[in-house]
Structure formats: C-alpha cells, structure tokens
Amino acid sequence: MNTNTVENGNIVENLSTVQQRIEEAAKKANRSPDEITLVAVSKRHSEESIRIAYAAGQRDFGENYAQELRDKATNLKDLTEIRWHFIGNLQRNKIKYVAPFVNLLETVDSFKFVGDLAAYAKKIEKKVSCLLQVNVGEEIQKSGCSTVEAAEIMGAIDKEEWLSLDGLMTIPPWDLDAQQTRTHFSALKKLQLENGGRDRLPILSMGMSHDFDVAIEEGATHVRVGTAIFGTRAPR
Ligand SMILES: *Cc1c(COP(=O)(O)O)cnc(C)c1O
C-alpha cells in the first residue's frame, strides 16, 4: 500500500477553513454546527498527516481500504481518542481487518454483508455500529442498496444483537452539479423520515469536499472531507 502523500499546503489551516465552511453552512440552514461531525478522510495519506490533524483537535477519520485502516489503527493506537470510520467498499472476506478497529462502519449495503458482519462481531464480542449505504439515485455502477431494499435491510440489522444501526449514508455520482447532488441528499433525508426519523436513524452521512455545504443544508450530520483537508491523494 502506497501511503506517500502529496501534501498541499497546511493541514491545520485547511482544517480550520473546513470548520468555518461547516459553521457557515449550518448557520444558513438554521442548524447548530455542533450537530455536524467532520470526518477527515485520510485514505492514501500518511500517518504523520493524521497525527498533525489529531494534534489540532480532529478526532474522526475515514478510511476506504481494509488493510490500510487496520495498519493505521494499529500504528496510531497511542492516539487514544481517535475514532475510525470505514467508508469504502468492503469485501466480506476483509471484514476481519476492519471490524476490530472501526467505530462506525458506514458502508453496509446487503443482507449477505449484514449476516457476515454480525457473525464476525459476535465472534470478537464487539458491538459494531453501522450505517446503511443507500444508492438513492439507483446508478447501476454504484455500491449501496436501492431505496426499495433499504427498509428490509434495516430490519435485518435491527435483528442482530451484535450490530447497531445508527443511520444512513450515500455517495452521489461524481459528475453531478450542485442542484442534482442536492436531490440525492434530500432523498436520503426523506428515507430517514420514512423509516423512523432521527430517533431510529440519528446519523446522515453525506457530503464531500466539493459539496458538503449543500449536504449540511439538506440535513447531513456527518460530512466526509478528504481533499479539502489533506490535499491531493497519492495514486493507489
Ligand atoms: C474519498 C472519499 C471521500 C472524500 O472525498 P474528497 O473529495 O477528497 O473530500 C468521501 N467519501 C467517500 C466515500 C470517499 O471515498
């Protein structure tokens, strides 16, 4: 795994700029910035970059690759308040690399995955918090379950003693303009309201570097921001 970093500028400064954008978007939407958790997406960035962000107060970090999460979580164990989010496609045979370390697994999207994750969580006796990843736009190539399957998969997660369903996550297609992206975010919000609302599904994870302001206006509680904090990623 290549975690060499192409650092653009200053991580600490970038973090504070992103926090300001979060505050402005929240204000615009009449929300409290305290409702919004910034997940710093550190995939393909170095452990040193994570340490710098952590020293500046950042606690939630997002990773996309199973072994990379395992290695970073192991090497950064001394950062005792760090919280790891897994936000990538997770093959079922790699659950073992992620489940022991993760604080929120954001990409649960099928009955099969729920079954395997629950079995592994039971084996290691760890209650795993997860989000259901929904492909609200029904793009063929994207991961995430369809809105039609969503309710049933939520029910399957609820039945599992070793899993906790904490909310919903979505990734809109990359090539949309802001207004089209907004449609995806509001669709995820609608799905939350139709399935028990905030009481059952407190977390809405949506929005990235280029569109998290819009996501906050549409109700995001978690925004996943990589490039705007850490700069361009090294090629994989
Ligand atoms: C990489 C990634 C992000 C961060 O993207 P940026 O554009 O760098 O902010 C957010 N969410 C997911 C699921 C990702 O894979």
Distance 95 CA to ligand 1 centre (A): 20
In the block, tokens 């609302």 appear at: 197
- Give me the tens of pLDDT residue by residue for the chain, a chain 236 residues long: 334 444 446 999 999 999 999 999 999 999 999 999 999 999 999 999 999 999 999 999 999 999 999 999 999 999 999 999 999 999 999 999 999 999 999 999 999 999 999 999 999 999 999 999 999 987 766 789 999 999 999 999 999 999 999 999 999 988 788 788 999 999 999 999 999 999 999 999 999 999 999 999 999 999 999 999 999 987 77
How many residues are listed for the chain in this entry?
236
Alpha-carbon separation of residue 128 from 85, 146, 197, 217, 228 (angstroms): 11, 22, 21, 29, 29
pTM: 0.95
Res 143: pLDDT: 86
Q: Are strands 37-41 and 163-169 parallel, antiparallel or unpaired?
A: unpaired
**Minimal-distance CA residue to ligand 1 atom 4:** 226
Ligand 1 pocket check: which of 39, 213, 224, 230 to mutate, most ligand atoms within 8 Å of Cβ? 224
Report CA(159)–ligand 1 centroid distance (Å). 30
For residue 149, report the distance from its CA to the centre of ligand 1, in Å. 25
**Cα 218 to ligand 1 centre (Å):** 18
Cα–Cα dist 224/215, whole Å: 10
Residues flanking ligand 1, CB < 6 Å: 41, 43, 64, 87, 171, 208-209, 224-228
| Atom of ligand 1 at shortest range from CA of 64 | 15
